[in-house]
Structure formats: C-alpha cells, structure tokens
Structure 1
Amino acid sequence: MTRANDRQQQLGTIFSSCPLVPVITIQDPDTAVELGRALVAGGLRILEITLRTEHGLGAITALREALPDVWVGAGTITTVDQYQAAVKAGAQFAITPGSTQALLQYGTTATAPLLPGVATLSEILQAYELGYRDFKLFPAEVAGGTAALKSFAGPLPDIRFCPTGGIKPETAADYLALDNVIAVGGTWLTPQDAVSARDWTRISQIAEDSLRRCRGAG
C-alpha cells in the first residue's frame, strides 16, 4: 500500500465513525475534558480541537488520555511547526483552513494524516498531484456550498470532502446527502454560552439532536 493510500484509509476510518465533527476552540482549559465527554455522550466520535488559542495542544493531550476510544485531532493548523506540535501532543489527524506546499508536503509523511483545506478546484488539483483525495471545503457556504461540491464531483469523482464554515444544523443533512461528502464540521455543536456555563446536558442534547436530524434525513 502506498503512503497516499494509507493516508486515505486512515482518514476514511476516522470519518466513517461519525458524520459530524465539532469544531472546538478551547477558551478555558478546565472545560476541555468535560466538553469532550458531553459531546461523546451525545453520540459524537470525532473531536477537532482548533489551535486558535494557546490551550489547543494541551486540550488534545488531555482528551487523548481521558477519551482513548474517540478520534481527537487538531484544526486550524497553518504552519508545519504547528502540525509537528499537534502530532507531538497526540493529535490523530490534522486539518488546515487552507493549503501551502510546505503543509501538503509534510502531510505526505506525517504520522497523523492531513485533511487539507481548499476552496477552489485549482487548490484541489495541487494537492491531488501529491496523492490527496480527502479535503476540507472551507469556508463551505462562502465557497459555493452544496452546488460547488456537486460541480467538483464531475471532473474528480474520486475526491471526498468534510465541508466546514457557515453550516447550520438545518443544512448539515443537505451536505451529507452528497456522495462526495464524508462528514460535516461545525461550531454550532459547541455554542460558547453553553460551554461557558458548563451546561454539559445542553451540549449533549445538541449533539444528539444534530445526529438524529442528519441520520433521519439520510
């Protein structure tokens, strides 16, 4: 098996475990594990911890220890140094908002597979040449939403997406209904007011309701 095929298989295993990926930004490190447990209690099996705050790497390590049966990865990676730090912290996958040649090249050998962020067909083709077949469409709604994804399927029927950005509970199922969408990411799963209030019951209910809505539509 080539490295590219192995990477694709890894991502396939991760994203086949759950159709929804919460995009999590940790403002208070003391909430990380409780938030993760609340999301898992609601049925989620993948946690994307963004590196938008200084608490991201520590949260990844803490969640890997507390929830060993859940996929924990790093999001909002913009440099190779961040990618390396995320892997060292225990990230099982990495997601970028956009793509650079340095990130794409590093992702071909990193132990944690990369889901590169793209918004155009040209960006997809640059990564495609390196063996990438799975992508994050970001910002999904601004980049064309479901119409863009349908268009991408024509010239490149073997690529798959996890769209993120502007997606809401009521639109997630529309994305998941497409053959080239493997999962959907969103911040609606972790509203900041609920996290700040430590309302873990509400967080679990949002996750459960969102999963039910998506699976019901499918």
Structure 2
Amino acid sequence: MKPIEAIMRTAPVIPVLVIDDVAHAVPVARALVAGGLRVLEVTLRTPAALDAITAMKSVEGAIVGAGTVTNPDELKAAIDAGAEFIVSPGLTDRLGQAAVDAGIPFLPGTACAADIMRGLDLGLTHFKFFPASTSGGLPALKALAAPFYQARFCPTGGISAATAPEWLSFDRVLCVGGSWVVPKGAPDEAEIERLAREASALAKA
C-alpha cells in the first residue's frame, strides 16, 4: 500500500480545516483525534495555517497535512512546517514533480481525465476529486474513474454528513474530505468530538 493510500484509509473522512487563530489549532486537533479522525488537512488559506500545522503535530495520534497547496514554494513551506502529506486543488507539472521529488504523500486535485492522465504520467494514482458536488457529483466521478482502473479518490467540496455515505459507497472512493466536522468560530471541543465520532463511524466501501 502506498503511503498516501494508507493515510486515506485511516478514516472515512478527512476534516478540511481553515484555522484563523493558531490558538485554536491544538484544541481542534485534540477533539478530532479523540473522535477518531486522525488525518487533518490544514488549508493554506490563512496566515495562521503553517503555524497551525506545526502546533497540531504536538497532538498525539494526529497525522497533519497541508491543503490548498498550489505551487512548489507553498509545498516547501508546508513541508518545513512539518506537514506529513500534501493536498492540492489542482495539478500542474511543476507542483506534481516537486511533490514527487520531495517524496511526500501527495493528493492532487483532479476534475477531468486530463488531470488524472497528468498525474499518472508522474506516477500518481491517488487523487482528490474537486470540487466534487459542482463537478457532476458521484455520476461524474464514476464515469471519470471508469477508464482508470488504478485510480482511487477522495471527493472533496460540497460534501456533508448526509451525502458522504453515498460517496463512500463507491469502491473507488477511499475517503471524503469535509469541513462540516469543525463548525466556524471558537472551537467547542465536545461538539467537534461528537461530530468526529459520527463521521468516523461512516461505513467505507
């Protein structure tokens, strides 16, 4: 099993996290891990993101990665901050090659056959399907996956607790990404842990 596949199979849901205040990082990570969601994707959408990655790595059991990585400079910054895996919204040759050269587990965003073929050229077989709900949903992913027997997916974008089970029922989907597990605002650890427990109990195909 490839390292990125092992990460994707850790839990059925990867929380997609937007951390505005680094002080929230450890409480959020602690609650998610306690609820059974150990793989945490911190998006590089805020100035606090890199420090949040570093802080979350102090939580025992957490597997912390960086999301919204769009170029080699952000890739390096995320790795330097301690990211254990990388997620991108799309795939370019420069970013893909940089991730392969770095030897870090990498989940590039794809939404069409050309994206997947670009990834396969780089030796990548595991992809984020993004944005999932507005790119044709599950029927589109099934059609897209059909020609690529070796590809496995993590749909992300517009997925909720209600729709996640349908996505997970497709055997080519190893997990889904979602932001619903961590409500906006100051973290309520008990509530986040409750939502995480519900998410971690979702059946994988």
Fold match by TM threshold 0.5: yes
The alignment partner of 1:108 has SS state of helix
The alignment partner of 1:169 has SS state of coil
Which runs of structure 2 are paired with 1:66-81 in the superposition (5 Å)? 66-67=59-60, 69-81=61-73
**Is residue 38 of structure 2 the alignment partner of residue 49 of structure 1?**
no
**How far does residue 209 in structure 1 lie from its aligned partner after superposition?**
1.6
The alignment partner of 1:170 has SS state of coil
| Structure 1 match to 2:181 | 189
**How far does residue 79 in structure 1 lie from its aligned partner after superposition?**
1.2
Alpha-carbon distance between aligned partners in 2 of 1:210 and 1:20, rounded to the nearest angstrom: 6
Asked whether the equivalents of residues 33 and 62 of structure 1 are also in contact (C-alpha less than 8 Å), the reply is yes
In the superposition, the TM-score normalised over structure 1's length comes to 0.90
**How far does residue 204 in structure 1 lie from its aligned partner after superposition?**
0.7
| Structure 1 match to 2:155 | 163
Asked whether the equivalents of residues 29 and 62 of structure 2 are also in contact (C-alpha less than 8 Å), the reply is no
State the identity as a percent.
43
The alignment partner of 2:41 has SS state of strand
Alpha-carbon distance between aligned partners in 2 of 1:65 and 1:202, rounded to the nearest angstrom: 21
Alpha-carbon distance between aligned partners in 2 of 1:210 and 1:79, rounded to the nearest angstrom: 31
The alignment partner of 2:163 has SS state of helix
Alpha-carbon distance between aligned partners in 1 of 2:191 and 2:73, rounded to the nearest angstrom: 36
Aligned partner of 2:117 among 117, 121, 125? 125
Asked whether the equivalents of residues 87 and 111 of structure 1 are also in contact (C-alpha less than 8 Å), the reply is no
The alignment partner of 2:199 has SS state of helix
Asked whether the equivalents of residues 69 and 75 of structure 2 are also in contact (C-alpha less than 8 Å), the reply is yes
Alpha-carbon distance between aligned partners in 1 of 2:105 and 2:50, rounded to the nearest angstrom: 17
Moved over 6 A (4+): none
Q: Residues 131 and 111 (structure 1 numbering): CA distance in 2 closer, same or farther, change over 3 Å?
A: closer
C-alpha root-mean-square deviation of aligned residues, in Å?
A: 1.3
Alpha-carbon distance between aligned partners in 1 of 2:22 and 2:62, rounded to the nearest angstrom: 19
**Is residue 169 of structure 2 the alignment partner of residue 177 of structure 1?**
yes
Question: Does 50-59 or 150-159 show the bigger shift?
Answer: 150-159
Aligned partner of 1:199 among 169, 185, 188? 188
Q: Which amino acid aligns with 2:198?
A: D
| Structure 2 match to 1:107 | 99
Asked whether the equivalents of residues 189 and 207 of structure 1 are also in contact (C-alpha less than 8 Å), the reply is yes
| Structure 1 match to 2:146 | 154
| Structure 1 match to 2:198 | 209
Asked whether the equivalents of residues 69 and 88 of structure 2 are also in contact (C-alpha less than 8 Å), the reply is yes
Asked whether the equivalents of residues 112 and 144 of structure 2 are also in contact (C-alpha less than 8 Å), the reply is no
Q: Which runs of 5+ in 1 are unaligned?
A: 1-7
**How far does residue 111 in structure 1 lie from its aligned partner after superposition?**
3.1
Between the two proteins, the alignment pairs up a number of residues equal to 205
In the superposition, the TM-score normalised over structure 2's length comes to 0.96
Q: Which runs of 5+ in 2 are unaligned?
A: none
